[in-house]
């Protein structure tokens, strides 16, 4: 890794950790108690936390692109861990942030043929239905239970990121019966080699079953589900990696829509949190794509895993009352 | 098994993408305009800006109770307040996928793709049900 890459990665990491530490210190331990009495929390002007949120999500947007993760998986654990917002509103905002990112990327991915509507539509029906269940359960459970479950899930995601392999072109000898009936197959041109790739899937029933779990978790925790979608589509069902990544991104626009409506209808959306987050992540993603050429993604991915592990432990400790 | 040998997205996929793009841009523009009206004080909010931080640390049920905010689609009756104006853009972004699905159903039926047409109809039902508020309102 060259000097410029190391310097940039180091600066990003330092900026982010400083921001997290600063927000954790500023938000303090008695925030919720102070809020419950209706007393002012920390004397800061009303725009202070939204601006910090904008900056934090901007950095998150950059880091997410460089680390190859969705913004959603970073948003909920980090914002809930280090900001004074209640987890209910963080999850609502997280879903809308992931949704906005998917809506922004979806048209291009569909037009290029990298995202497959045929692969997405059956999967989306399962995931979006279950996301409704997850959102309702998540809003009904006591906050500390959700924090503990969130912490455990985030740590599980870290393990998955460390251990999961990728398969650029999985070997799928033949489509299974359900995949054939649903006609889940396609053709795309691999730009890096100029090859035309015919793809199909297998293990479709098991894949659809896993999307039940993915949908519930997406709704419950307000996480984008890209971290789970891609391994299932790629490693289990055998879709090529690019098709899996692109279809996963597009899929979020449907899965997160259903869960986001539940949070909205239950009042768990605060525009002062949603809009700065949305703008920050989108701007950050835009910048991240541009500096991707300069920074080595592997190092950033390790940094993302480290940040997520820290956030996961923080969520666990909050849930356990430490 | 026969595969579609044509490289490139299907007509319904392109239609979905075009509507998604327009809907996403419209939703974002609306959201940015209403947010500007909100933060610059051009339209007064329901919850004063300097009071909001007193409440965002509460759980959703306590938040709604303390501020006497109704749930579900009741925000439509509060569009005179700038904070609730933002829900127009948010609802638009959350609703654009429903519009895309409705748009591709005729194409799927025309191509005799009955299974996918049924799945798309079911998805419209699921998303509309989620949007309608029939799954309850009010937090824990």
| pLDDT band at residue B83 under the 50/70/90 scheme | very high
Chain B CB within 8 Å of residue A268 CB: yes
Residue among A222, A242, A232, A259 nearest A122 (CA): A232
Residue among B13, B21, B114 nearest A111 (CA): B13
Counting beta carbons within 10 angstroms of the beta carbon of residue A7, is it exposed (0 to 12), middle (13 to 18) or buried (19 or more)?
A: exposed
The residues facing A187 across adjacent strands are A198
**Measured in whole angstroms, how far is the alpha carbon of residue A322 from the centre of its chain?**
26
The residues facing A200 across adjacent strands are A185
Which residues in chain A land under pLDDT 50? 1, 28-40
Q: Under 8 Å CB-to-CB from A104, ≥6 apart: which residues?
A: A282, A285, B24
Question: Structural domain boundaries of chain A?
Answer: 49-320
* Closest residue, chain B, to A261 (C-alpha): B131
Contact status, residue A256 vs residue A188, Cβ threshold 8 Å: no
ipTM score of the complex? 0.92
Contact B130 A258 (CB under 8 A): yes
Chain B CB within 8 Å of residue A47 CB: yes
Radius of gyration of chain B (CA): 20
Mutation pick from A121, A122, A173 vs chain B, by most beta carbons of B within 10 Å, is A121
- pLDDT for the residue B89: 95
- pLDDT for the residue A30: 41
CA distance B71 to chain A (A): 5
Looking at the partner chain, which of A41, A116, A253 has a beta carbon nearest the beta carbon of B54? A41
Element (H, E) at A185: strand A185-190
Chain B CB within 8 Å of residue A218 CB: no
Burial A23-36 (b: 16+ CB within 10 A, else e): beebbeeebbebbb
- pLDDT for the residue A194: 82
CA distance A190 to chain B (A): 11
Chain B CB within 8 Å of residue A82 CB: no
CA distance A40 to chain B (A): 5
Contact B20 A110 (CB under 8 A): yes
- pLDDT for the residue A123: 96
- pLDDT for the residue A289: 80
- pLDDT for the residue B78: 94
Q: How many angstroms separate the CA atoms of A75 and A61, rounded?
A: 9
CA distance A294 to chain B (A): 29
Looking at the partner chain, which of B57, B115, B126 has a beta carbon nearest the beta carbon of A181? B115
* Closest residue, chain B, to A122 (C-alpha): B119
Burial B34-63 (b: 16+ CB within 10 A, else e): bbebbbeeebebebebeebbbbbbbbbbbb
Average pLDDT, chain B: 91
Contact A39 B54 (CB under 8 A): yes
Element (H, E) at A186: strand A185-190
- For B115, other C-beta atoms within 10 Å of its C-beta total 14
Contact B50 A46 (CB under 8 A): yes
Query: What are residue A113's phi and psi, to 5 degrees?
Result: 85, 0
Q: Under 8 Å CB-to-CB from A146, ≥6 apart: which residues?
A: A87, A138, A220, A221, A319
- pLDDT for the residue A31: 42
Q: How many angstroms separate the CA atoms of A27 and A147, rounded?
A: 18
Contact A125 B21 (CB under 8 A): no
Residue among A79, A111, A161, A117 nearest A254 (CA): A117
Chain A CB within 8 Å of residue B105 CB: no
Looking at the partner chain, which of A41, A142, A174 has a beta carbon nearest the beta carbon of B140? A142
- pLDDT for the residue A40: 44
Report how many Cβ contacts below 8 Å link chain A to chain B: 225
Cα-based distances in Å from A62 to A39, A43, A70, A158:
36, 31, 10, 19
Element (H, E) at B18: helix B11-39
- pLDDT for the residue B101: 97
- pLDDT for the residue A158: 87
Chain B CB within 8 Å of residue A85 CB: yes
Q: Give me A280's structure tokens.
A: 């920050």
Contact B17 A106 (CB under 8 A): yes
Contact A272 B91 (CB under 8 A): no
Residue whose tokens read 């040998």: B5
Question: Structural domain boundaries of chain B?
Answer: 11-132
Residue whose tokens read 């197959």: A185
First-to-last C-alpha distance (Å) of chain A: 39
The residues facing A313 across adjacent strands are none
Chain A CB within 8 Å of residue B78 CB: no
Residue A187 in 3-state DSSP?
Answer: strand
Contact status, residue A305 vs residue A77, Cβ threshold 8 Å: no
- pLDDT for the residue A90: 95
Longest dimension (CA), chain B: 64
Chain B residues closer than 8 Å to A82 by CB = none
Helices assigned H by DSSP within chain A = 3-27, 31-36, 48-67, 71-82, 87-112, 117-140, 143-163, 177-181, 204-221, 226-231, 241-265, 271-291, 297-320
Q: How many angstroms separate the CA atoms of A129 and A258, rounded?
A: 7
Eight-class DSSP state of A322:
-
- pLDDT for the residue A296: 66
Q: How many angstroms separate the CA atoms of A229 and A214, rounded?
A: 7
- pLDDT for the residue A27: 53
Contact status, residue B94 vs residue A264, Cβ threshold 8 Å: yes
Quick check: B102 pLDDT over 90? Answer: yes
Contact A110 B6 (CB under 8 A): no
- pLDDT for the residue A274: 96
Number of residues that make up chain B: 140
Contact B52 A182 (CB under 8 A): no
């Amino acid at each position: 890794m060259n000097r410029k890459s190391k310097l940039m990665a180091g600066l990003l990491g330092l900026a982010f950790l400083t921001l997290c530490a600063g927000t954790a210190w500023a938000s303090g331990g008695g925030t919720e108690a102070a809020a419950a009495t209706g007393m002012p929390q920390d004397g800061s002007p009303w725009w202070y936390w939204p601006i910090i949120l904008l900056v934090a999500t901007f950095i998150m947007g950059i880091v997410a692109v460089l680390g190859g993760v969705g913004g959603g998986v970073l948003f909920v654990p980090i914002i809930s861990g280090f900001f004074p917002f209640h987890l209910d509103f963080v999850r609502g905002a997280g879903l809308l942030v992931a949704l906005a990112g998917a809506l922004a990327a979806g048209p291009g991915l569909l037009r290029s043929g990298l995202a497959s509507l045929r692969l997405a539509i059956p999967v989306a029906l399962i995931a979006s239905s279950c996301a409704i269940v997850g959102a309702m359960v998540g809003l009904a459970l006591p906050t500390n239970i959700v924090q503990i479950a969130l912490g455990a899930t985030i740590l599980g995601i870290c393990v998955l990121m460390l251990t999961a392999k990728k398969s650029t072109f999985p070997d799928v000898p033949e489509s299974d019966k359900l995949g054939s009936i649903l006609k889940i197959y396609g053709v795309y041109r691999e730009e890096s080699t100029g090859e035309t790739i015919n793809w199909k899937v297998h293990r479709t029933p098991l894949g659809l079953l896993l999307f039940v779990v993915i949908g519930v978790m997406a709704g419950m925790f307000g996480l984008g589900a890209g971290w789970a979608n891609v391994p299932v589509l790629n490693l289990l069902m055998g879709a090529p990696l690019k098709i899996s990544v692109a279809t996963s991104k597009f899929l979020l626009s449907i899965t997160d829509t259903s869960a986001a409506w539940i949070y909205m209808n239950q009042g768990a959306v605060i525009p002062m949190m949603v809009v700065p987050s949305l703008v920050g992540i989108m701007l950050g993603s835009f910048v991240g794509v541009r500096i991707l050429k300069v920074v080595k993604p592997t190092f950033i991915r390790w940094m993302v895993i480290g940040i997520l592990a820290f956030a996961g432990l923080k969520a666990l400790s909050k849930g356990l009352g430490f | 098994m026969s595969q579609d040998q044509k490289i490139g997205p299907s007509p319904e996929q392109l239609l979905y993408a075009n509507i998604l793009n327009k809907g996403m841009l419209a939703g974002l523009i609306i959201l940015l305009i209403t947010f500007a009206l909100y933060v610059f004080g051009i339209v007064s909010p329901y919850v004063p800006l300097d009071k909001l931080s007193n409440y965002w640390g509460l759980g959703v049920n306590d938040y709604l109770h303390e501020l006497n905010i109704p749930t579900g689609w009741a925000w439509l009756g509060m569009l005179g307040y700038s904070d609730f104006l933002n829900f127009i853009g948010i609802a638009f972004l959350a609703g654009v996928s429903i519009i895309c699905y409705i748009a591709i159903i005729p194409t799927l039926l025309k191509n005799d793709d009955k299974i996918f047409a049924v799945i798309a109809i079911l998805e419209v039902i699921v998303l509309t049900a989620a949007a309608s508020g029939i799954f309850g309102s009010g937090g824990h």
